[in-house]
Amino acid sequence: MEKKILLNEKDMPTQWYNIIADMPNKPLPPLHPQTKQPISGEDLAPLFPMELIQQEVSAERYIDIPEEVQEAYRIWRPTPLIRATELEKALQTDCKIYYKYEGTSPSGSHKPNTAIPQAYYNKKAGVKRIITETGAGQWGTALSFACSHFGIDCEVYMVRISYDQKPYRKILMNTFGAKVYASPSTNTQAGKNALEANPNTPGSLGLAISEAIEIAAGDADTKYSLGSVLNHVLLHQTIIGQEAKKQLEYTGDYPDVIIAPLGGGSNFAGLSFPFIKDKISGKQMRCVAVEPASCPKLTKGKFMYDFGDTQGYTPLLPMYTLGHTFTPAAIHAGGLRYHGASVLCSQLLKDGLIEANAIQQLECFEAGILFAKAEGIVPAPEANHGIAQVIREVNRAKEEGVKKTILFNLCGHGFVDMAAYQDYFAGKLVNHSFTDEELTGALKDIEALQPQ
């Protein structure tokens, strides 16, 4: 038995997989917030280059990966598929556990899989500067690297709480040549409003998105870039699952369960969509998206139209959401602190093609530390959510007396997140519970946004 299943570079997939082509129910269209009519590609043109807008609305099953993007992917791809033999021993299980390790990328997570093509299409369209937001700092780092690769300026609005918790992330972005601002900032109206309402706000991903969009929309040479949620972002991530499929073919296994954490949905989609294609054609298997109990949009939110950002600059998106004014607790898994879930993942959940589970952060850190001791890799706090679910599945298999093949996404390493582990060891992390009012309060604000 081999521990690591490695693909040759020549076996790297040359197309992305677009699940829209195979979805039994197509996603509902994004709506213009005033007219409540479907938006057109032109409405998005101030923010994104045309080729990305075309990918956003495409119904083609496969989309070619440009040669320049493949070349940049080869800096770290294909990524390894690893049999978690040591974790299996630690859990004393007969289940086979595999993980796709995306932490081998330059920024340490799956995010460069979309940062590279996004920077490429912007460059091709003559864009000079890209503005973005970052939560935990993973996305900002990935885009900074991608922009430096293609020679574009990059500015990042970093959620205040992460800016303070993760100074090394900021320095990493600076190393790749990007400018970094704490959000909320005084550079934008959205930021000023938020600071006026609460000068000590920890910020949120939704608010940082508002700031980045505000600046990009006001400057013709500047575009905006998003690291999750949108269809084209999920599309680019499908290289993960397509590689994993080839790697599992080599071992002769097929997963019974696929698990990944879900912030906006991109790493979950990236690993699972190429397998969900099989599920749609009748294959038996489960896909579980894991969210933090402190931001439970999939399990406690509602499927409604809502803004993607806090200020209400984006189109209305049909998604599971807690409401765009919901401010998640300041947990260390910053990448999972987002009020909504991507349109594609939301529709698949509504249609029963995927499942969702919310887990408290203490159980997640316990799982992550067990994994680190066994396999030697310290996972990103986000990834710990997936690992906690893997352990639950193993326990369930034990109870049911069955053997399962489990595949999960180790979507990033935690080397720049050691402050989170420090807080965990110091007993500073707590589990979160909400009153009904806290959970549903922000949903009341969006009732008026629904189309008739």
Ligand X SMILES: *Cc1c(COP(=O)(O)O)cnc(C)c1O
Among 411, 420, 443, 446, binds ligand X (CB under 6 A): 411
Listed residue (384, 389, 388, 390) closest to 405, CA to CA: 390
C-alpha torsion sign, points 149, 152, 153, 156: negative
- The one segment of 157-165, 191-199, 262-270, 305-313 that binds ligand X by CB under 6 A: 262-270
Instruction: Rank residues 12 and 260 by Cβ distance to ligand X and give the closer one.
Output: 260
**Are the beta carbons of 151 and 179 closer than 8 angstroms?**
no
**Are the beta carbons of 227 and 139 closer than 8 angstroms?**
yes
Residues 5-24 that bind ligand X (CB under 6 A): none
Q: By rule CB under 6 A, what count of residues binds ligand X?
A: 21
Question: Interface with ligand X includes 176 (CB under 6 A)?
Answer: no
Residues 135-174 that bind ligand X (CB under 6 A): 136, 138-139
HSE-CB of 128 using CA atoms within 13 angstroms = 4
Q: Smallest distance from the beta carbon of 10 to ligand X, in angstroms? A: 28
Among 122, 144, 267, 346, binds ligand X (CB under 6 A): 267
Contacts of 440 (CB under 8 A, 6+ apart): none
Q: Smallest distance from the beta carbon of 335 to ligand X, in angstroms? A: 3
Letter string b/e over residues 144-173, b meaning 16 or more CB atoms within 10 A of that residue's CB? bbbbbbbebbbbbbbbbbbbebbeebbebb
- The one segment of 157-165, 260-268, 275-283, 435-443 that binds ligand X by CB under 6 A: 260-268
Q: Smallest distance from the beta carbon of 103 to ligand X, in angstroms? A: 8
Q: 213: which 2 tokens?
A: 């969009």
User: Alpha-carbon distance 4 to 98, whole Å?
Assistant: 9
Residues 295-314 that bind ligand X (CB under 6 A): none
- The one segment of 113-121, 178-186, 263-271, 359-367 that binds ligand X by CB under 6 A: 263-271
Instruction: Rank residues 235 and 397 by Cβ distance to ligand X and give the closer one.
Output: 235
Q: Smallest distance from the beta carbon of 407 to ligand X, in angstroms? A: 16
> Measured in whole angstroms, how far is the alpha carbon of residue 18 from the centre of its chain?
17
**Are the beta carbons of 312 and 193 closer than 8 angstroms?**
no
Question: For the window 320-359, what string marks contact with ligand X as x by the rule CB under 6 A?
Answer: ---------------xx-----------------------
From residue 94, alpha-carbon distances to 88, 404, 405, 420 in Å are 7, 8, 9, 32
- The one segment of 218-226, 249-257, 265-273, 370-378 that binds ligand X by CB under 6 A: 265-273
Question: Interface with ligand X includes 266 (CB under 6 A)?
Answer: yes
Instruction: Rank residues 81 and 240 by Cβ distance to ligand X and give the closer one.
Output: 240
DSSP codes of every residue in 293-349: TTS-HHHHSEEEEEESSSSS-SPEEEEEES-TT------S-GGG--SB--HHHHHHH
Among 264, 296, 308, 340, binds ligand X (CB under 6 A): 264
User: Alpha-carbon distance 128 to 411, whole Å?
Assistant: 30
Instruction: Rank residues 109 and 204 by Cβ distance to ligand X and give the closer one.
Output: 109
Residues 227-246 that bind ligand X (CB under 6 A): 228
Q: Smallest distance from the beta carbon of 101 to ligand X, in angstroms? A: 11
Q: Which residues of this protein are in contact with ligand X, per CB under 6 A?
A: 109, 111, 136, 138-139, 228, 261-268, 335-336, 380, 382-383, 411-412
